[in-house]
Amino acid sequence: MTVTETAAELTRTREPFVQATVVRAQKPTSAHAGDTALVRADGTIAGFVGGTCAEASVREYGLMTLSTNQPLLLRIVPGEVAGPAEEGAVTVANPCLSGGAVEIFLEPRVPAPRVLVVGDSPVAEALAELGRPLGFDVDLVAGEQAQPQAGDAALVVASHGRGEEPALTAALRLGVPYVGLVASRIRGAGVLAALDVPDDQRSRVHSPAGLDIGGRTAAEIALSILAELVAERRAAERHAPAAPEPASARDPVCGMTVAAVATSPHVTVDGITTWFCCEGCRKAFEKTPARYATAS
């Protein structure tokens, strides 16, 4: 499977990855401008952006950009790093390079938040039409076909009585952050009372869904729901703890920092795991581990 085909498949299955593209290469590096690779969430690399030593830096900083969801220009140089750090760019010294420098643009590809909209009503259709330009992956389904997932950003039921209770119950049990019901206050109260969930989960349902903006048309009601969803997501982001940086370690043989993940070369001795940039460093360590004990 080509890199392009792999990227398409990961996008289809909503698996996050980083696209790494060589934008500049100096001889005698083995990479060329335009070379591309993908870094998956477990550190697996598909494609080519240089040898194994360059891959070690791409893996480390690729996982970092995936955790921050911010693109980064990675410069890999064979000698010492010169000059101050720049916003949006990082320069790393790679003693394993055969010479030359390479610049690689790391672009995270994180799936858009999925919003499951249940129903074929005008409000449901308006939610799909307005939600996609806002960056949501809106999945519009009939009531009996609704299958909420734990990773969904929201579930909105706008089916006017068709398949409401199963969809709402499933979303609440899965912990979907935003759950909304398009219904009058009286009918909505009846639907919520019939849900087979604890009261604390039942109270999470927004019914009637949406901010009170006096909306009358289907588009205005959809707008109020999406505004409420955006407001809740931003509030949750403000109070969420900062994402931890991916674990890294120092290769005791060459001194490089590398991602401490299973896809990086490593060896465990007496319960202590040591990580390496490439198989060459791992084999050198295994040959004379005492030599690198202090550095490790």
Q: For residue 278, what pLDDT band results from cuts at 50, 70 and 90? A: confident
| Contact yes or no for 253/276 (Cβ under 8 A) | yes
pLDDT above 70 for 250: yes
pLDDT tens digits, one per residue of 221-246: 999 999 999 999 999 988 888 778 88
Q: What is the structure's pLDDT at 173? A: 96
pLDDT above 80 for 96: no
Question: Among 63, 53, 61, which residue's Cα sits nearest to residue 101?
Answer: 53
- Residue with token string 């949750």: 236
Q: For residue 93, what pLDDT band results from cuts at 50, 70 and 90? A: confident
The tokens describing 80, both together, are: 């010492």
Q: What is the mean pLDDT of the chain?
A: 90
pTM of the model as a whole: 0.80
- 116: enclosing H helix or E strand: strand 114-118
Q: What is the structure's pLDDT at 104? A: 96
> Between 34 and 79, where is the model more confident?
34
pLDDT tens digits, one per residue of 170-209: 999 999 999 999 999 999 999 999 999 999 999 999 999 9
Q: What is the structure's pLDDT at 295? A: 52
Q: What is the mean pLDDT of residues 74-103?
A: 79
pLDDT tens digits, one per residue of 61-73: 999 999 999 999 9
> Between 53 and 12, where is the model more confident?
12
| Contact yes or no for 171/132 (Cβ under 8 A) | no
Q: What is the structure's pLDDT at 31? A: 85
Question: Among 197, 205, 198, which residue's Cα sits nearest to residue 177?
Answer: 205
pLDDT tens digits, one per residue of 114-163: 999 999 899 999 999 999 999 999 999 986 778 899 899 999 999 887 88
| Contact yes or no for 106/72 (Cβ under 8 A) | yes
Question: Among 52, 17, 45, 46, which residue's Cα sits nearest to residue 31?
Answer: 52
Q: What is the mean pLDDT of residues 212-229?
A: 95
The tokens describing 86, both together, are: 């720049």
Q: What is the mean pLDDT of residues 1-19?
A: 93
Q: Which superfamily, per CATH, for 114-238?
A: NAD(P)-binding Rossmann-like Domain (3.40.50.720)
Question: Among 186, 23, 50, 172, which residue's Cα sits nearest to residue 104?
Answer: 23
> In percent, how much of the chain has pLDDT > 90?
66
